[in-house]
A and B are shown apart, each in its own frame.
Chain A
Amino acid sequence: MAPLKSWLQINAKSHFSLHNIPFGIISTPDTPEPHAAVAIGEYALDLQVFSQQNGFSALSIIQPHQKVFSEPTLNAFAALGRPIHRVVREYLQSVFLDNGPFPDVLEKNEQLRKAALLPLKDCKMHLPMFIHDYTDFYAGLNHAYNVGVLFRGPQNALQPNYKHLPVGYHGRASSVVVSSTPIRRPNGQILTNLAAEKKEPVFSECKKLDIELELGCFVCKPSQLGEPVRIEDAPEHLFGVVLLNDWSARDIQAWEYVPLGPFNAKNFGTTISAWVVLMDALEPFANAGMANDTELLPYLDEKDRKSNYAIDLSVSLTTSSGKTTNIGKTSAKNLLFSFPQMLAHHTIGGCPFNVGDLLGSGTISGESKNEKGCLLEQTDNGKTEITLEGGEKRKFLENGDTVTLTGVCGSEEGALVGFGDCVGRIDPAVQLSF
């Protein structure tokens, strides 16, 4: 199928082609209260302005609901449900379509174009949703295996439960921030001498600060206490996908995590990309994900449905000297469980969900050396170093390092569906005195 062409000049390599139309929350100097927008090419279409000036006049189904575009989060829009998301997205594609059915709405409406089509560089991005609860899963099998080998050897790398259920833990919702928010290196308790008989931690800044390349998925349909979401129905509950960097303090984690799981090692910050790519935009790139040789219990059985996605993911590190190095590339196909399976599992005992809840996929790594989604794997837990452009070495992150995650589906120019950047710069730890 030939790429959709717009009357708007959109660079053929843009991740915000007419095939995408991701949703986000912006503010501008003229409209400082955060409100909804979609990204297209190098522009944001300000949905508050667009709706207030009757841009949706040809779309009757959205008429009673247009206030949602003036809300400071996408929660109210998401709550309208996937049929409405679908119709709104398709309408906006039609509005931007070259020789499309609605030329008077925007193409020939200079006044509305001036008011509503804003250069992305002039927009400040905000967290796209209000996140009641955030759960991080562990479905990147290669990552789980690699980490398991580092700590337990190949025979015991994966726990007995790993392939039977999507292992996950509750994360800290308050610590999820939008791309470009600086991330402060945490202080905490660290066991510097792991081999010592008597385990005495010291208090210091984290010395093994790491990244985790993940996808995040937002929920758009709530579920009640005591009422599981069935695997057949799970896709209706999912709004869209972002990139997610689950910054991790490996040394703090090693000392604290037995037996109740990672805690302060994670809750100092988690970054998500600003533009939510709707499930419909990802549909052409649906993929089965990794094969599971374990027979799953029926509540997790998706049968032939493909709910993972062929997204090309990339991690780069920019040092404070300004040099950027690509430090990993992999595919989101490298997940053992899908978001519908994670949701069905998460609710199977009756855990309730709210619109805006966030699910993290877990670190995504491929099989080969250059496909590792975290530095822990890339450096064998700090045994080896990676070499950056210009010759600097890294085991873990240094202050001033900026990490950028990107993701894009497809290879056809003019039809790329991407996520924008998921960026964070490491700031020095707070100096605490006692």
Chain B
Amino acid sequence: MPSLKSWFPIPKNSHFSLANLPFGIISTASKATPRPAVAIGDHCLDLQEFSASGAFSSLGFDVSVFSKPTLNDFASLGRPVHGSVRKFLQDVFAENSSNAQVLQNNKSLQEKCLIPRDGVTMHLPMQIRDYTDFYAGKNHAFNVGCLFRGPDNALQPNYTHLPVGYHGRASSVVVSGTPITRPNGQILENPAATPKVPTFSPCKRLDIELELGAFLCKGNKMGTNIPISEAADHIFGFVLLNDWSARDIQAWEYVPLGPFLGKNFGSTISPWIVLADALEPFRSTGIPNDTQLLPYLQEKEKNVYDIKLQVDITPDGGETTTILNSNGRNLLFSFAQMLAHHSIGGCPMAVGDLLGSGTISGTEPGSEGSMLEISKGGKETVKLNGGVERKFLQDGDTITMYGVCGTEETGLVGFGECTGKILPAPKL
């Protein structure tokens, strides 16, 4: 498929090619109100300004959605509208477009709407009603299980039958760029001792988790379920997600009710939501499941995506090192399956809900999605560029996650950055 060529300067290697057009929420120095935008090359298109010009009038939807401080109202319009808006914008930016009068030949509108991205502040793209984190990265679950129970008991009996998940803390999801403060908490210094008496200290095993996030554009009434055949109608788009984890705090607290303070001190998402439509060409099979799934989880389509994922670490004032490369295919369950499972008992889902995939690890060394795995449970140090070593995160470290699909020829479809810097724990 030849790439869409644009009259607008889009660098060849940009993750925001015309094949992408992700949606986010921006503000600028000249206009501080957060409002919707689309990323294109090194710029973004201010959708509030653009829609005020009447540019969308032929599409027949309520453009007041582009004057809201989140994308929830736009998402609520449904996937057919998302699709028509995105196609229209692709056409407006296309070379030899039949819509050249809209923007290409309208210098004053370009000046109002097209803003260099490096001058823009990004905000959380959606108001998150509820956040759920799943555990569908089978290689990660296996690696972690091995560390604690050995290979024969690594995965629980339920693991391949259902997408295991837990409710997360919606208030703790922040946009890329937000600093993450190392949590204090109860830690069992010596797990082998009896009796078990915890101490209070800053987390000493601060970790990352490379995940994908899916935002919903449609919910369901409590007491009803979302059939898997309809799940696609409910999914708006995707982001990168870093499920920062305090491994030592988690180890002491998590039996029997699951991870809690080990997670809710912060979770970071990338700011540009890549629409499901933009990922269509990159559908793939995920990790094969040799368990026969119950009918409500059986899906016909390939609902996992071939996304190249990368995580870099940059110590304070130091050199950047890539610590892992993975792929979005490394999932046992798709978001459609997670959604069907989450709602099967009648749980009400809503516009703006966020689903996390779980840590995405490959099978090869160098593809593990967390430092817990990379350091083999904190036993081995990882050597970084500049002569630095790490097992877990240190204060001042910045973690940046990237994800991209496709080729320059067809137009790269990427997620921008999902980044966060670790600040020292407060002294209490």
Q: Which A residues form the contact surface with B (CB < 8 A)?
A: 132-133, 135, 138, 159-161, 164-165, 167-175, 177, 181-182, 184, 186-189, 199, 201-203, 206, 225-228, 249, 252, 255-265, 267-269, 297-299, 345-346, 348-354, 357, 427, 430, 432, 434
Contacts and interface: CB of A to CB of B under 8 A. Distances in A.
Given A167-B257, A427-B223, A430-B346, A173 B129 contact: yes
Interface in B314-328: none
B294 A351 contact: no
Contacts of B166: 169-170, 260-261, 263
A173 B130 contact: yes
A342 B136 CA distance: 30
A434 B295 contact: yes
B286 interface: no
A201 B161 contact: yes
Contacts of B255: 159, 161
Given A135-B169, A161-B255, A202-B294, 15 more contacts: A159-B255, A165-B198, A165-B252, A167-B253, A173-B170, A174-B130, A189-B158, A201-B162, A252-B345, A260-B259, A263-B165, A267-B342, A267-B345, A299-B428, A349-B265
B77 to A, nearest CB: 21
Contact of B296 (A186, A226, A257, A434): A434
B341 interface: yes
Contacts of B246: 349
B181 A171 contact: no
Contact of A268 (B129, B162, B186, B345): B345
A261 B426 contact: no
A139 to B, nearest CB: 12
Contacts of B296: 203, 432, 434
A186 B346 CA distance: 6
Contacts of B219: 174
A138 B256 CA distance: 10
A269 B222 contact: yes
B261 A259 contact: no
Nearest to A144: B256
Interface in B364-406: none
A258 B172 contact: no
Contacts of A132: 170-171
B261 A346 contact: yes
B253 A161 contact: yes
B81 interface: no
A268 B347 contact: yes
5 closest A-B pairs (Cβ-Cβ)? Answer: A261-B258, A349-B183, A186-B345, A434-B295, A226-B181
Contacts of B252: 161, 165
Nearest to A353: B171
11 contacts: A172-B130, A174-B222, A174-B348, A181-B222, A225-B178, A249-B345, A257-B256, A263-B167, A297-B198, A348-B261, A349-B264
Nearest to A297: B200
A128 B256 CA distance: 31
Interface of B: 129-130, 132, 135, 156-158, 161-162, 164-172, 174, 178-179, 181, 183-186, 195-198, 200, 203, 219, 222-225, 246, 249, 252-261, 264-266, 294-296, 341-342, 344-350, 353, 423, 426, 428
A427 B223 CA distance: 9
B348 to A, nearest CB: 5
A168 B183 contact: no
A350 B171 contact: no
Contacts of B428: 228, 299
Nearest to B179: A226
Contacts of B156: 258-259
Nearest to A177: B222
Nearest to B353: A174
Contacts of A427: 223
B426 A228 contact: yes
Contact of B168 (A165, A170, A258): A170
Contacts of A160: 195-196
B186 A174 contact: no
Nearest to A170: B167
A430 B223 contact: yes
A121 B171 CA distance: 37
B370 to A, nearest CB: 15
A196 B158 CA distance: 13
A225 B266 contact: yes
Contacts of A264: 341-342, 344-345, 347
Nearest to A350: B265
A343 to B, nearest CB: 13
B347 A349 contact: no
Contacts of A348: 183-185, 261
Contacts of A199: 157-158, 161
Given A167-B253, A170-B264, A349-B185, A189 B346 contact: no
A430 B350 contact: no
A202 to B, nearest CB: 8
Contacts of A257: 256, 258
Contacts of A430: 223-225, 346
A352 B261 CA distance: 11
Contacts of B184: 228, 348-349
B264 A299 contact: no
Nearest to A137: B257
Contacts of A267: 167, 342, 345, 347
